[in-house]
């Protein structure tokens, strides 16, 4: 089976690291230990053993000092530095995919540093193009009992879905503190959400605000997300007690099938379109370059000259019964035969006009042989004379 990759993303304080620790221990208990990757450079300690840890290659505090950055800027820079070696990370994971069934990835607490940065996109797409990848969006359930806060989280989840174009699971964490039944009801029943919104505004002394700007906006957002909710998988878990992790893993299996059926095909189509556009862009740039250098005009000129040359060799004989072929008469054919049998030689010295006849001039081959013999004799005599002179000296 292909290695199933789960990337954990969530707001600060949502419990991503604790969720990772519980998921790791849950898979170990099921005799299916995962391949663990930590991408949070600012964390001091992690409650799980990581196979690949960004802190082993990137020193967060050194990045802050060397580049004079703040906390968030140092996290982004650390991810940028790490993403330059993502090909090596993928190779390491590929070598181990026969031993592991799951790969779980922890991300920085500052969600925007990973989701909206170029390095986060590079890392996500690198895994998604190699392994079936699922996004687990961790939500802090007790802090989302307010309809407006809940709506903000759902909008963020929707933006992550369309940003990554990968299967998304909304994980309501800390269900031991607050059950997520209210959130599931809001996602399936619009009237229940409207009632909760109105009750929340009245409890805060904001009577009448439901018909104002904020109430209208939140209601509109909930209507807009109705289609998003219908295609969304939701699970409630407790990282403290381990509740709901079996359900989460079952949903991951379903999302892997969904990835293979829909998302992988869509990603391949997008990549193919990018390749075609890049190929067309290169061809267009090459064409512009040839025009600038004058190669294309020169090629056209040469082609035109070739066409003119081909027109010059056309026979001016009109086509007749023999398609332009004219037969020789018998007398002309006899002359041709006689000329073929004639022996051509150079004229003698007494014939300076170069006239050639059939019999009385010396043979050309004989003259060649005599000339070669004379040259060889002169050369041998000269060589012997040079050797004698050298000995005398």
pLDDT at 212: 60
pLDDT at 311: 46
Model pLDDT for residues 248-290, shown as the tens digit of each residue: 999 999 999 989 888 888 878 888 898 899 999 998 888 888 8
Contact by Cβ (8 Å): 252, 169 = yes
Which residue, 142, 56, 164, is CA-closest to 153? 142
pLDDT at 298: 60
pLDDT at 381: 65
Tokens of 184: 């599931």
Using pLDDT thresholds of 50, 70 and 90, give the confidence band for residue 100: very high
Q: Higher model confidence: residue 311 or residue 214?
A: 214
Model pLDDT for residues 11-40, shown as the tens digit of each residue: 988 999 999 999 999 999 999 999 999 999
What proportion of the chain, given as a percentage, has pLDDT over 90?
47
pLDDT at 180 > cutoff 50 = yes
The alpha carbon of residue 224 and the mean position of all alpha carbons in its chain are separated, in whole angstroms, by: 33
Prediction pTM value: 0.69
pLDDT at 367 > cutoff 70 = no
pLDDT at 337 > cutoff 60 = no
Model pLDDT for residues 368-380, shown as the tens digit of each residue: 567 667 766 666 6
Which residue, 11, 247, 8, is CA-closest to 139? 11
Mean pLDDT lowest for which of 31-40, 59-68, 168-177, 210-219? Answer: 210-219
pLDDT at 317: 44
Contact by Cβ (8 Å): 360, 345 = no
Task: Match domain 4-270 to its CATH number in 3.40.50.300, 3.30.450.20, 3.10.20.600, 3.40.50.2300.
Answer: 3.40.50.300
Model pLDDT for residues 132-167, shown as the tens digit of each residue: 999 999 999 999 998 889 988 999 999 999 898 899
pLDDT at 324: 44
Highest mean pLDDT among 99-113, 195-209, 256-270, 303-317: 99-113
User: Alpha-carbon distance 369 to 87, whole Å?
Assistant: 77
Q: What are phi and psi of 102, to 5 degrees?
A: -125, 145
- Break the chain into its structural domains and give their ranges: 4-270
Mean pLDDT lowest for which of 94-108, 135-149, 169-183, 356-370? Answer: 356-370
pLDDT at 191: 86
Range 348-364 average pLDDT: 48
Which residue, 6, 11, 181, is CA-closest to 111? 11
Which residue, 35, 51, 55, is CA-closest to 43? 55
Range 59-68 average pLDDT: 93
pLDDT at 343 > cutoff 50 = no
Model pLDDT for residues 296-321, shown as the tens digit of each residue: 556 555 655 555 554 444 444 444 44
Contact by Cβ (8 Å): 71, 41 = no
Torsion on CA atoms 300, 305, 306, 310, rounded to nearest 10:
140
Q: Please list the residues that pair with 52 across neighbouring strands.
A: 37
Burial 320-333 (b: 16+ CB within 10 A, else e): eeeeeeeeeeeeee
To the nearest whole number, what is the mean pLDDT of the chain? 80
pLDDT at 383: 58
User: Alpha-carbon distance 259 to 15, whole Å?
Assistant: 26
pLDDT at 314: 42
Residue 363: CA atoms inside 13 Å, Cβ hemisphere, count?
A: 4
């Amino acid at each position: 089976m292909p290695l199933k990759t789960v990337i954990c993303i969530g707001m600060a304080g949502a419990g991503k690291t604790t969720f990772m620790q519980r998921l790791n221990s849950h898979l170990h208990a099921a005799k299916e230990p995962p391949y663990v990757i930590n991408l949070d450079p600012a964390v001091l300690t992690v409650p799980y053993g990581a196979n690949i840890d960004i802190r082993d290659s990137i020193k967060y505090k050194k990045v802050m000092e060397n580049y004079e950055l703040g906390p968030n800027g140092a996290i982004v820079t650390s991810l940028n530095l790490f993403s330059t070696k993502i090909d090596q990370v993928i190779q390491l994971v590929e070598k181990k995919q026969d031993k592991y069934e799951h790969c779980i990835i922890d991300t920085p607490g500052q969600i925007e540093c990973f989701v909206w940065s170029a390095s986060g996109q590079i890392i996500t797409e690198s895994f998604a193009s190699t392994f079936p990848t699922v996004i687990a969006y961790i939500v802090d359930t007790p802090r989302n009992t307010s309809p407006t806060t809940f709506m903000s989280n759902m909008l963020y989840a929707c933006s992550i879905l369309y940003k990554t174009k990968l299967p998304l699971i909304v994980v309501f964490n800390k269900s031991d503190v607050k059950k997520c039944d209210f959130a599931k009801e809001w996602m399936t029943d619009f009237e229940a959400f409207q009632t909760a919104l109105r009750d929340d505004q009245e409890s805060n002394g904001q009577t009448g605000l439901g018909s104002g700007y904020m109430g209208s906006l939140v209601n509109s957002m909930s209507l807009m997300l109705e289609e998003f909710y219908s295609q969304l998988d939701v699970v409630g878990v407790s990282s403290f007690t381990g509740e709901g992790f079996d359900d989460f893993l079952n949903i991951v299996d379903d999302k892997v099938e969904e990835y293979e059926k829909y998302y992988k095909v869509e990603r391949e189509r997008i990549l193919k379109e990018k390749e075609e556009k890049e190929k067309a862009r290169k061809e267009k740039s090459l064409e512009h370059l040839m025009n600038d250098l004058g190669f294309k005009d020169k090629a056209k000129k040469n082609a035109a000259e070739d066409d003119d040359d081909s027109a010059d060799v056309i026979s001016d004989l009109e086509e007749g019964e023999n398609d332009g072929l004219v037969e020789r008469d018998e007398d002309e054919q006899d002359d041709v035969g006689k000329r073929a049998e004639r022996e051509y030689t150079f004229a003698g010295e007494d014939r300076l006009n170069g006239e050639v006849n059939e019999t009385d001039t010396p043979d050309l081959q004989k003259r060649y042989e005599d000339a070669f013999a004379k040259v060889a004799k002169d050369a041998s005599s000269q060589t012997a004379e040079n050797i004698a002179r050298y000995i005398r000296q």
